[in-house]
Amino acid sequence: MLTLYGTEVSSRLLLGTALYPSPAVMAEAVRRSGTEIVTVSLRRETAGGRSGGEFWSLIRSLGVRVLPNTAGCHSVKEAVTTARMAREVFATDWIKLEVIGNHDTLQPDVFGLVEAARILAAEGFQVFPYTTDDLVVAERLVDAGCRLLMPWCAPIGSARGPQNIDALRSLRAHFPDLPLIVDAGIGRPSHAAAVMELGYDAVLLNTAVAKAGDPAAMAAAFAGAIDAGRAAWLAGMLEPRDMAVPSTPVIGQAVFS
């Protein structure tokens, strides 16, 4: 089981709800994934409107836990205000905190992120910070009150997979008991398996599933890959070697000449 701010979940896949061809396709992908947590961005223009109400009703019908998202926020003030609104709309203290610093890469503004995290944690929010793979930033977020971290492995929606394995490995080693969830940049099930083999606790996906030819089938594929990567980590994998090692021993064997 995975414990996130005192809540236990069995699935290690968190799924986003944006970009799908239709609400019905999104709902089927959520079901096939087996996820217990979905992220939902608070859209101010639809939060109280008809389309927004219908969407929230669909999400509730799926029987999953909602992780509101401050996606699209580019300042501390905007992110904090959006988080407060999300708590009212969704009746949860959980918040996926994004403070975007660069329009092209969608890289987090780590300075604003730490500041916003400190404000929200002091107000009782349970913050899921979308951050880079920088170790010092991670330490600052923990000092600010975050009890888990969500580092990227590549820019949002890039589908490039892990770009800095050493940095991800360092984060895992530095925070052995802290839940670490890879968020952003994963494009293939093999990418998800790779980060889980590093000992990460979960993966958050959206674009790679929503934009697949068959989102529901892709969601199921990712779920299987995440389970396989986790099982491999727990089993203890063979580390790479510099030289070949025969699988059949030669010492003590008969020699024919």
CA distance 70 to 68: 7
- Written as six digits, the tokens of 111 are 């300075």
Query: Residue 211 catalytic?
Result: no
Let me know: does 177 contact 157? Beta carbons within 8 Å. no
H or E element in which residue 125 lies: none
Tokens of 10: 């069995």
Pairing of strands 7-9, 2-4: antiparallel
CA distance 166 to 162: 10
- Residue 206 labeled ligand binder: yes
Q: Tell me: is residue 207 an annotated ligand-binding position.
A: yes
DSSP H or E stretch at residue 198: none
**To which residue do tokens 């089993």 refer?**
235
Residue 235 is labelled as binding a ligand: no
Among 96, 140, 172, 230, which one carries the catalytic annotation?
Answer: 96
Of 198, 145, 197, 146, nearest to 173 by C-alpha is 198
Determine whether the annotation assigns residue 164 to a binding site.
Answer: no
187 is in an annotated binding site: no
How far is 186 from 207, CA to CA, in rounded Å? 9
Binding-site residues for 1-deoxy-D-xylulose 5-phosphate, in ranges, read: 157, 184-185, 206-207
Binding-site residues, in ranges, read: 157, 184-185, 206-207
Q: Report the catalytic residues.
A: 96
